[in-house]
Amino acid sequence: MASLDELRDVRLAKLEKLKEKGIDAYPSTSFVTHTVLKATEDFDNLSESQEVVTLGGRVMSVRAQGALIFLNFFDGTGNFQALLKNEDSTKDAFELFSDVVDIGDFVEMTGFLFVTRTGQKTIQISEWRMLTKTLLPLPEKWHGLQDADERFRKRYLDLLGNDEIRDYFVKKAKFWRTARDFFNGKDFLEVETPTLEITTGGAEARPFKTHHNDFDIDVYLRISVGELWQKRLMAGGFPRTFEIGKVYRNEGTSPDHLQEFTNLECYAAFMNLDEGKKLVRDLYIRLAQEVFGKTEFTTRGHTFDLASEWKEIDYVEEVEKQTGVNVLEASEKDMADALEKLGVKFDGKNRERMMDSLWKYCRKNISGPAYLVNHPKIVAPLSKENKNDSRKTEMFQPIIAGSEIGRAHAELNDPLDQAKRFEIQNKLITEGDEEAMMSDTEFVEMLEHGMPPVFGFGFGERFFSFLLDKPIRETQMFPLMKPQEK
């Protein structure tokens, strides 16, 4: 079996042959008249009229049968068959094709459409042009790229050889398009907010830090889709806003977490939490129906139906039911002992991290769909205080397949309360908690000028990966990869 270098040398020789004939193997102009999809849709009219058409695409297979060459090509909209005959009028084209074309090359073919005796829609080539001469072969047709690392590094080959993977990204585009249409249809204004921030806000996560040379200051890549900025827009007189964009969190990688991903966040003035619950449920059902054509799914070992009733689960009560620990009343030692007994590893020794670790242990047993409610105040520094219990907040999270798939708040608009909560987060930072939320005094100043009651909600592409039942890394076109060692 020839090595990759040997195969490349053969193709380089074919490229040289094209150059010797004065043929540009990488022309800047193509004369394609129809995509494969369009040619297929209009096939009857085009074949009956014998209209000359020009198609183009990547050669995926070649079968030589004496004076005939059959090839299959792909242009991104579909596959099509071509036939080149060794006749007087096409003798030179036939010989050149035989000498220089390899599987993987991009070619342009001009001719007329017809149906073969076996019923195959085909273009009979009268002339052809090389559009791109490839120097490396494609992966073997039936096996493709098998190594996961190689698949992600050479995603272009993975997409080319795997229709299922290609369909992931067609669905993902529809997923975000559907979400955008949903919010546009409810009079939300789509906005853009900064991705570089002096202080990160809107979530608890370790940020990426970089340096702004012109200002000579350190700045951070955002960890939320403009939460504190969109709230400023609420104060500025925009009643409903949303944004779809990238966020960055300098944390670990898992089947459900990456450092760079797409989120959507929306904010609505004068909308209460109950109205927000209906909004979120309607959104999730719409996404499921329009993108996947169903509402019932099985993923991560859980089965759930988004169209079923969404029950409410109390954060404190659920943790106590599953672990015996009341996180509002237990000491930090009690929580640490419980985590050790449960075999749960956790980062940080402060109350917030232990509380969060206990909940994460419990959530894996909940299939949902459900609303997680009544979060302790310490884990929700931007939510309003629960009017029935000052130790809790007014927020919810959709729980699906053992995980939180989104986060919603009755947004805190009391500037004095917000300042106190930032102080608590600052204390956690000084104690070494790298995920605690940074204080933003300018945001507090905005609240002092006045922000209306606001419902806020955000979710990310992890929801899409759950509905597809694939690791989130699999549903990103180009996940970040470590450089290969030379």
Sign of CA dihedral 290, 291, 294, 300: negative
The model's pLDDT over 323-355, given as tens digits with 9 standing for 90+, comes to: 999 999 999 899 999 998 999 887 666 788 889
Class of domain 158-310+368-475: alpha beta
Residue 142: pLDDT band with limits 50, 70, 90? very low
Tell me the average pLDDT of the chain.
92
C-alpha 447/C-alpha 445 separation (Å) is 5
C-alpha 182/C-alpha 373 separation (Å) is 25
3-state secondary structure of 135: coil
Cis-peptide, bond into residue 453, ω within 30° of zero: no
The model's pLDDT over 184-194, given as tens digits with 9 standing for 90+, comes to: 999 999 999 99
Class of domain 4-138: mainly beta
C-alpha 373/C-alpha 392 separation (Å) is 9
Nearest by Cα to 369 from 321, 323, 395, 404: 404
pLDDT at 141 over 60: no
Comparing 45-49, 57-61, 265-269, 345-349, which segment has the lowest mean pLDDT? 345-349
71, 84 contact by CB (below 8 A): yes
Please name the helix (run of DSSP H) or strand (run of DSSP E) that holds residue 404, with its range, or none. Answer: strand 403-404
Angle at 289 between CA 283 and CA 294, to 5 degrees: 130
221, 245 contact by CB (below 8 A): no
C-alpha 297/C-alpha 300 separation (Å) is 10
C-alpha 192/C-alpha 187 separation (Å) is 16
Q: What are phi and psi of 142, to 5 degrees?
A: -85, -15
C-alpha 289/C-alpha 438 separation (Å) is 39
3-state secondary structure of 303: strand
C-alpha 139/C-alpha 151 separation (Å) is 11
User: Across-strand partners of 63?
Assistant: 70
pTM of the model: 0.89
Mean pLDDT of 464-476: 94
Angle at 108 between CA 33 and CA 168, to 5 degrees: 80
**pLDDT, position 145:** 61
Domain boundary assignment for the chain = 4-138, 158-310+368-475
